[in-house]
Every structure is written in C-alpha cells, then in structure tokens.
Amino acid sequence: MSKPLMPKATAMWLLNFTTLTFDQIAEFCALHALEIKAMADDMHPEKIVPLDPVMMGQLTREEIAAAEKDPRKRLVMTKPSVDMAPAKAKGRPRYTPVSRRQDRPDAIAWLVRNHPELTDPEIGKLVGTTKATIQQIRTRSHWNIANIKPVDPVTLGLTSQLELDLAVEKASARKSKGAPAAEAKGATLRPASEATAKPEQPDEDAPQLKYDPASVFASFQRARDKT
C-alpha cells in the first residue's frame, strides 16, 4: 500500500492533531502541498471528516512523534500484520490491434484444421475472437469463407509459439484423459475351443426307456372300459 485508504481524511486528521509540516503530510498522503495548505486554511471545496491513521493501523504514535521532531523525516506506512493476497486479475479477451484483425479468420481456420482438439474458448483466447466467428468458420457459413486461407497465428503475430504450445498440450492431455469408452461389443464368433468341441455322446450304459404307442393306447382303452 503506497498511500492511506482515505488520503484526504487522513491528511485532515494529521493537520488537526499533529505538528507535521505540509510537505510531510502531502508526501505521506500522496497529495499536493498546496491542497494540504488549502485544507489547513479551511478553503478546501470539500467537507472532509478526519480519519485517525493510528486507529486504522497505517501509522504508529512513535512514527508520528519522530516525524514531528525532525521536519525532514518522511512518514513510513506501518506494515500490516496480515499480508493481503493480491487481487486476481479477471480474465479479459486478448486485445488484437486493428491492423491485424482481418487476419483472425485465417488463424481460426488454421487452428480448426490443424488442432481439432482445441475448444472454441481456447481458440478465442489465443487469437482474441468470438465464439460465433469460430462457429461460422467451422461450419463454413462465414460471409468471407471463400477468401479465408489457413495461416499459422504465430506467423500472423496473433499469439506466441509458447502460448500455442501450452494450449495444444493442455487440450491433448484433456482429450487423452477423457477419451470415450470403447463401444459395446456386438455378436462375435464362438471360441475355437467351443466350435471344434465334439457333441456329447449319450451314455450307452445308461438305461433307455422305450415306449410303444400301440401298447400305451391299449392300456388307456382298457382303463376306460373298466370305468
């Protein structure tokens, strides 16, 4: 942190409760010395409410006292006890100079043809284009498709070789990990051991029952006559 969170409010407090010079306060608060003088003379156009930098943890009493004794001393911001993580920059689309924007369709065509593993967002990030434009070139529905010729985006200066290699490597790794499972097997030939096996032969020693249709019918007729 190079200056207080509320520099004008901090400067007003230092004016009211310390004997620091205008230059010391101006340098600490990143303001002009004339603005500090206007605040001291109550000529500042804004109504400023003082803010205690000691209470905010931006200065110590000892630091202020030392600076009051020596007008040449510069106030040093107190180091916070907890380090704040830097704000993560939000992803922004790559800026492409106007002079190179007409080359983007050629670069997209080259990427689509040579690296089908790249997704539309990855291609858009590399060359700074939109998903709609990529889809139009994929489906050959772009208004200028007849004049689009695949050209390496590195040659066109739309991306670097390192960025392209990293994107391709990442896409290839993702594709290899998420490869679709093998298709279900259909009907196959029987194993050779089953095809060449001899059919089981009936056991000759086992008793075999034989029926005579005529005797069976006669027995059924005799039983019927008795009833």
104-144 pLDDT, tens per residue?
899 999 999 999 999 999 998 998 888 999 999 999 999 98
In this predicted structure, what is the pLDDT of residue 192?
Answer: 53
In this predicted structure, what is the pLDDT of residue 14?
Answer: 93
pTM for the full predicted model: 0.40
How large is the average pLDDT for residues 13-42? 91
How large is the average pLDDT for residues 88-99? 57
In this predicted structure, what is the pLDDT of residue 45?
Answer: 77
In this predicted structure, what is the pLDDT of residue 40?
Answer: 87
Residue 142 has phi, psi (to 5 degrees) of -65, 145
How large is the average pLDDT for residues 44-51? 83
> Across the chain, what does the average pLDDT equal?
78
∠ Cα 221 226 227 (to 5°): 100
Q: What separation in angstroms does the CA of 40 have from each of 15, 17, 20?
A: 7, 12, 12
Burial readout 168-194 (b: 16 or more C-beta within 10 A, e: otherwise): beebeeeeeeeeeeeeeeeeeeeeeee
**DSSP-based three-state secondary structure for 72:** coil
Give the list of residues 6+ apart from residue 56 with CB closer than 8 angstroms, or none. 4, 5, 10
In this predicted structure, what is the pLDDT of residue 183?
Answer: 39
For residue 90, pLDDT over 90 is answered with no
Give the list of residues 6+ apart from residue 94 with CB closer than 8 angstroms, or none. 125, 126, 127, 128, 159
User: CA-to-CA distance for 158 and 137, rounded, in angstroms?
Assistant: 17
In this predicted structure, what is the pLDDT of residue 13?
Answer: 94
